[in-house]
């Protein structure tokens, strides 16, 4: 399918409640897990709302910035201190963050390095949305506390979605796996119920030479602690071509708590015009997946695929319900 990359703009009366159009990018080096930036922006025309977030992860803390305004009062190129431009659809984006309370700004260009995977997800009667992910590299400048650094060649995976998504209740395990290797990106979204049944699986190996090899099966064996954090694990991924990827993951770096980005119920909630808020999570044990508004975590992770080193994001969320216990599917 061909994905229309520009975000929607126009009258809020043309869309049903709960309809969204949004994107997420990550930005990180190719050889270390810090500093890293997670950012996202979305429009919710039925709620007359636009909002987004930027998260910086360092070795010692996570800095969170969230913005929101009215859809009818916003432009088509961002809100608050954040701006973007789709320079070349599905190929090049400009992303900017201006002065704000976190001390983090950037002016970067994301350029695709591989084809995108896209599909239409339909789960039950309440979820139907277009979905895309794609790997790229950056150029430009990231500034932290007044200290600029070039990000030329840094990796970045983007996630783009549009429609109605109301997957809620009954989920046990959520994985958004985005491993960046030198010649390809391996990305998939997988959801299991609390009983361990597969709810959905989608994704592909996206090669720099243009090959798109869809994922057909995933098995996992994760080390989950009492706080529902994942520090280590392994995955077996099979694609349509018959390629098997056996990947060991090292997620011992800190942070990536998506509660800091408004996940857990804040997205799409009207907060009036020009709302801006920020906070900091120290990596001292004071916050974890059980204490925050959601257990969803985007952890900058090291990957090992048969000796080929990679890096990227392992997004995970495990149910906090007492009815759920993690079950490995690869032994």
Identify whether 324 is part of a domain.
no
CA 88 from chain center: how many Å? 21
**Per-residue pLDDT, 128:** 77
What tens digit of pLDDT does each residue of 25-49 get?
A: 999 999 999 999 999 999 999 999 9
> Which residues make Cβ contacts (< 8 Å) with residue 50, sequence separation at least 6?
41, 42, 43, 44, 68, 69, 70, 71, 74, 79
Structural domain of residue 243, as residue ranges? 13-318
Residue 5: inside a domain: no
Give the CATH number of the domain where residue 119 resides. 2.40.370.10
pLDDT at position 260 is 98
- The verdict on residue 7 lying in a domain is no
Residue 6 lies in a domain: no
DSSP string over 171-228: EEEEEEEEEEETTEEEEEEEEEETTS-EEEEEEEEEETTS-EEEEEEEEEEEEE-TTS
Those residues of the chain that have pLDDT short of 50 are: none
Cβ 63 vs Cβ 103: under 8 Å? yes
- Inside any domain, residue 133: yes
How many C-beta neighbours within 10 Å does residue 2 have? 8
Number of structural domains in the chain: 1
Q: What are the angstrom distances between the C-alpha of 99 and each of 80, 89, 240, 241?
A: 10, 27, 46, 47
Kindly state whether residue 8 falls inside one of the protein's structural domains.
Answer: no
Structure tokens at 70: 């009215």
Predicted local confidence at residue 135, as pLDDT: 98
Task: Answer whether residue 330 is part of any domain.
Answer: no
Other C-beta atoms closer than 10 Å to the C-beta of 272 total: 10
Q: For 38-82, what is each residue's pLDDT tens digit?
A: 999 999 999 999 999 999 999 999 999 999 999 988 878 999 999
Say what the pLDDT of residue 125 is. 60
Q: Report the distance separating Cα 66 and Cα 84, nearest Å.
A: 16
pLDDT, residue 66, reads 98
Task: Give the pLDDT confidence score for residue 168 in this predicted structure.
Answer: 58
The answer to whether residue 323 sits within a structural domain is no
């Amino acid at each position: 399918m061909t994905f229309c990359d520009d975000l929607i703009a126009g009258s809020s009366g043309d869309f049903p409640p709960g309809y969204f159009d949004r994107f997420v990018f990550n930005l990180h080096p190719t050889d270390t897990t810090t500093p890293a930036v997670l950012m996202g922006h979305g429009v919710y025309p039925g709620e007359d709302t636009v909002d987004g977030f930027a998260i910086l992860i360092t070795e010692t803390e996570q800095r969170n910035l969230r913005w929101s305004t009215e859809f009818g009062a916003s432009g088509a190129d961002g809100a608050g201190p954040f701006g973007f431009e789709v320079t070349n659809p599905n190929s090049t984006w400009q992303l900017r963050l201006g002065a704000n309370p976190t001390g983090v700004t950037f002016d970067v260009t994301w350029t695709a390095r591989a084809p995108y995977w896209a599909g239409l997800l339909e789960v039950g009667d309440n979820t139907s949305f277009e979905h895309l992910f794609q790997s790229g590299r950056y150029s430009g400048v990231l500034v932290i506390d007044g200290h600029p650094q070039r990000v030329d060649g840094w990796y970045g995976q983007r996630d783009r979605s549009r429609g109605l998504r109301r997957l809620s209740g009954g989920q046990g395990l959520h994985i958004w796996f985005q491993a960046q290797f030198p010649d390809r990106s391996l990305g998939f979204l997988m959801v299991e119920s609390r009983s361990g049944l597969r709810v959905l699986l989608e994704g592909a190996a996206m090669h720099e030479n243009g090959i798109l090899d869809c994922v057909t099966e995933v098995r996992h064996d994760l080390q989950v602690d009492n706080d529902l954090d994942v520090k280590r694990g392994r995955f077996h991924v099979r694609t349509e071509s018959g390629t098997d990827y056996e990947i060991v993951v090292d997620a011992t770096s800190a942070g990536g708590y998506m509660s800091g980005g408004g996940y857990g119920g804040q997205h799409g909630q009207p907060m009036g015009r020009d709302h801006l808020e920020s906070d900091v999570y120290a990596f001292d044990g004071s916050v974890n997946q059980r204490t925050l508004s959601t257990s969803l975590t985007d952890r900058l992770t090291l990957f090992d695929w048969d000796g080929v080193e990679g890096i990227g994001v392992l997004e995970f969320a495990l149910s906090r319900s007492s009815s759920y216990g993690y079950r490995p599917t690869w032994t």
